[in-house]
Structure 1
Amino acid sequence: MGILKKLINKHTLSLASNAIMPLVGMVTVSLLARNLSEADFGNWILFLITFTLANLLRSGFLQTSLVKFYAGASKKRAFNVAGSTWVLGFALTVILGFISLLAYLFYSGDIAMEITIKWFGIIFFSTLPSSIALWILQAEQRFDRAFLLQLIGQGTFFVSVVILILLHKIDFQIVIYGYFISALITSILATLFGWAKIMAIPHKTKECIKEMIAFGKYSIGTSISSYLLRSSDTFIIKYMFADPAAVGIYYLPQRLMEVIEIPLRSFISTALPNMSAAVHKGDTRHMTYIMKKYAGILTVLLIPVSIAAFIAAGLIIEVIGGQKFVHSEAANVFRIFMCFAILLPVDRFFGITLDVLNKPHYNLTKVFLMLVVNVIGDFIGIYFTHSIYGVALASILTFLMGIIYGYWVLKKNLNFTIRDILKLGFVETRILAIDLINKAKQKIFNNAA
């Protein structure tokens, strides 16, 4: 029980949330793909992309600023931030909801698109409380509650899909109803449990709202630029290559990179509130230590993973994609991705450090520069290689640009080097490994006794 208690901590809960939730979502999408008609499934994907993009705008504007200003703040200040977030979140939701209403009133055409427009606004409103609750729980480092809330949301929708399949009542509109019900249940429970802090609304202040807007206008730009950075390769490949199969060949290794993203998102979720709390206390030295520790450990852990994935790329692609991808460029593209995978932790932590230091404009500039380098690099790479290898190789330059610019800016404010990050990463990883080995030995000894 003691070992189990030590294993179940904020880090493992955050990792479980970032690993299990995408898996549940993937299984749900797989069930829908198999049981909806091709037209209905296409309409569902269109709705999901539209909703995800709108949600990205809302979370990009508010999530990082809430965590930054809420974590480590006094109770009064935390209530100011939570209340102000509610006001801004409601205002943004009303604006997008009103646009959706106008589109619904004036649109006349495809019935599926009409359903998408109609239900987008309704569901967007229904997810506001649960979204704010998740951001607050991240700031409070209550990853157990965040995991439970996500499980309720994903789980209720999964169950509703299974029930619809068993009843043979599944189609696009009915699936929309199921999605709305699961979103509504999640938000109601988040509010009833007190996790959404809806009672903080009267504690809003104009000063706090202005502060969050000033920060949010840059963080939303960063979110959109990051989205474009992830998508630009696909758009360029589709534009430059006559064979539509090229998109699918490149997309498969891109999806496999999600395996790297899972621990990254988990570490960032736990590090961000700690770093924000340190800044609120004026302890930038400790904040720098947290940044170096997390970025270093992830980099060190990714080295053997990247080497193993590089060697086994062909087998991995065959298992995931099937025989049709075996003799394609997918395996070599994946190998190129593994070459720059070890750059991701440092690049990502440089970005959140700039946000935590209240320099979101520099983070926006960093991501925008990466986007420019990526787009130019894609075209140059295609020109010289005449293949998607050129697009993959351009990604290495993209993340090098992010690290170089982030390091250049941060060095003006913090005392550290890239060598410090790697050195601390090796030290902390060694300590973690020794600790785990000792615990395992102790467990074996206790069982033998």
Structure 2
Amino acid sequence: MKEKNDSYWLKSGVLILIQNLSSVLFGFGGFYFMVRVLDKHSFGAWILFTSTTTIFEMIRSGLIQNALIKFLSFSEKEEHPAILSSSFLMNGLLTLLCMVVNMSLAGYLSRLWHSPELFSMFLASNLVYLFSGLLSQFHWIEQANFRFKGIFITNFIRQGLFFVYIAVSYFLRWPMNLLHMVFMQAVSAAVATGVEYLLIRKILTFPFKPKWEEMKRLFAYGKFAFGTSISSILSSTIDQMMLGALLSTAASASFNVAVRIMNLVDIPTNAIAMIVFPQSARRMATDGTEAIKYLYEKSVGVLLAILLPCLLILYVFPTQIVHIIAGDGYNDTIPIVKIIIFYCILVPFGRQFGTILDSIGKPKLTFLLVLFTAILNLSLNYLLIHKYGAIGAAYATLTSNLIAFIIAQTILKKLLNVNTLNTFRHAVAFYPEFYNKYVKPRLFKTPHG
């Protein structure tokens, strides 16, 4: 059993790590070309557009994803058709609701950010949202069945197609039209959805019989994860949105360059979070809180071991890295990067806090903390942007997340007796453990070993 569990962690971890790496590389590659073709205003408008549409994606996934995965993981197979049918119906209703809200806000947001082109972009984004809703549903079903191959393949296709469009436009010197970019997002999502259906169609052979009781159960569990998702995405994008409203879309563009550089944090963090959630939900039921405590400390320690060397290099060479990535036109990003690096150290603690608390059935605590962080971040952004300009947004993000970190560790200490220092011990122990377990056996493997 232990060997099988190790195999799950190793295979799933490698696959999801590659997936997150490819996602960041495609996103980063597209950004590299866009920032050299689009002027600061247009790039800032694109950032504000993608930040807003991401909120709609998080509304849907936050309400359904974790609840669906948890109930499918724990329920008997005969209950799966009702759970799946109910989640499909909820997904469809949420998609329609968000599309209506999106159309209602399109005009207001285009005026708020002084970007008329945003109006048609938001309307066209409904097509993207329609396909991505079905694709996300397929991904959640795969994840609940401890399968990640289809998620990797279809995310690669979706992001890869959009990246190819941007790269071809750059090299062939086609003008980058923001509306055309939205339509390309829709095409990429449609192709990925079709491929994913072919990969999991055997799992989808169930009678469509949604039940009101199941929908209520999904909503009851998912409502706090939903609130957490919204608060979390607002907390991470409010700085760019407020910069666009209080200063300019160009200020949002400069801040986003720093955010893009920091996206390297999301590669291992997202990968481990996707693996930890179904495992921790199961281990809570079988092994109790001591196993969850170890799981949190170990996963955060591994993340710190991976991230800290990268962040150290970034802190020592911020000017060179910004110039390589964005060119000389974004020198105002350099001091922002130096501040956000410290925030990145806190990300593994916060992300795994939410994953662990959701898995042990306490999503309300996660929601309340993330909501508090979002409100605090909003308030600090308003005050500090007015006083310091774009760098004030970085100070606000760091301060609000530092306070949230202290609160989260206090909660984990009380609930699971988590020792924050243990995460750093695991981080230090990671290097010899990795060498002895994976590197040394291969280096000194005998011909018949």
Specify the TM-score bucket, using the shorter chain as the normaliser: 0.7 to 0.9
Of 285, 294, 299 in structure 2, the residue corresponding to residue 294 of structure 1 is: 299
Q: CA RMSD in A?
A: 4.1
CA deviations over 1:162-213 (Å, ceiling 9, x no partner): 7899898996676655544433332233223325944345354433321211
Aligned to 1:136: 141
Pair 1:217 & 2:223 matched: yes
Cα–Cα, structure 1 residues 246 and 287, in superposed 2: closer, same or farther, change >3 Å?
Answer: same
Residue pair 2:121, 2:178 contacting (<8 A) in 1 also: no
Q: Kindly, what percent of the aligned residue pairs are identical?
A: 23
| 1:356 Cα deviation from its structure 2 partner | 1.3
Residues 316-355 of structure 1 mapped to structure 2, 5 A cutoff = 316-326=321-331, 328=332, 330-355=333-358
Structure 2 counterpart SS, 1:199: coil
Residues 87-102 of structure 1 mapped to structure 2, 5 A cutoff = 87-97=89-99
Aligned to 1:107: none
In 2, Cα distance between equivalents of 1:43 and 1:388: 16
Structure 2 counterpart SS, 1:202: coil
Aligned to 1:151: 156
Of 180, 187, 192 in structure 2, the residue corresponding to residue 186 of structure 1 is: 192
Residue pair 1:43, 1:113 contacting (<8 A) in 2 also: yes
Pair 1:199 & 2:205 matched: yes
Aligned to 2:262: 257
Pair 1:231 & 2:237 matched: yes
CA deviations over 1:300-336 (Å, ceiling 9, x no partner): 333333222211222222222323444x4x3333222
| 1:417 Cα deviation from its structure 2 partner | 1.8
Residue pair 2:41, 2:253 contacting (<8 A) in 1 also: no
Structure 1 counterpart SS, 2:361: coil
Cα–Cα, structure 1 residues 189 and 296, in superposed 2: closer, same or farther, change >3 Å?
Answer: same
Letter of the structure 1 residue corresponding to residue 231 of structure 2: S
Of 110, 124, 130 in structure 2, the residue corresponding to residue 125 of structure 1 is: 130
Residue pair 2:305, 2:428 contacting (<8 A) in 1 also: yes
Residue pair 1:40, 1:171 contacting (<8 A) in 2 also: no
Residue pair 2:284, 2:360 contacting (<8 A) in 1 also: yes
The two structures have a TM-score, normalised by structure 1, of 0.80
Residues 402-413 of structure 1 mapped to structure 2, 5 A cutoff = 402-413=404-415
Residue pair 1:296, 1:346 contacting (<8 A) in 2 also: no
| 1:239 Cα deviation from its structure 2 partner | 5.7
In 1, Cα distance between equivalents of 2:72 and 2:255: 40
Aligned to 2:26: 24
Cα–Cα, structure 1 residues 344 and 42, in superposed 2: closer, same or farther, change >3 Å?
Answer: closer
CA deviations over 1:141-162 (Å, ceiling 9, x no partner): 3222210121232344556677
> Larger deviation: 399-408 or 85-94?
399-408
Residue pair 2:269, 2:303 contacting (<8 A) in 1 also: yes
Letter of the structure 2 residue corresponding to residue 216 of structure 1: G
The two structures have a TM-score, normalised by structure 2, of 0.80
Cα–Cα, structure 1 residues 411 and 380, in superposed 2: closer, same or farther, change >3 Å?
Answer: same
Structure 2 counterpart SS, 1:416: coil
> Larger deviation: 143-152 or 110-119?
110-119
| 1:20 Cα deviation from its structure 2 partner | 0.6
| Structure 2: runs of 5+ lacking an equivalent | 1-6, 107-114
In 2, Cα distance between equivalents of 1:388 and 1:112: 24
| Structure 1: runs of 5+ lacking an equivalent | 105-109
Structure 1 counterpart SS, 2:78: helix
Structure 2 counterpart SS, 1:257: helix
Q: Which has the larger radius of gyration?
A: 1
Pair 1:399 & 2:405 matched: no
Count of paired positions: 435
Aligned to 2:3: none
Larger relative CO (CA 8 A, sep 6+): 1 or 2? 2
| 1:438 Cα deviation from its structure 2 partner | 0.2
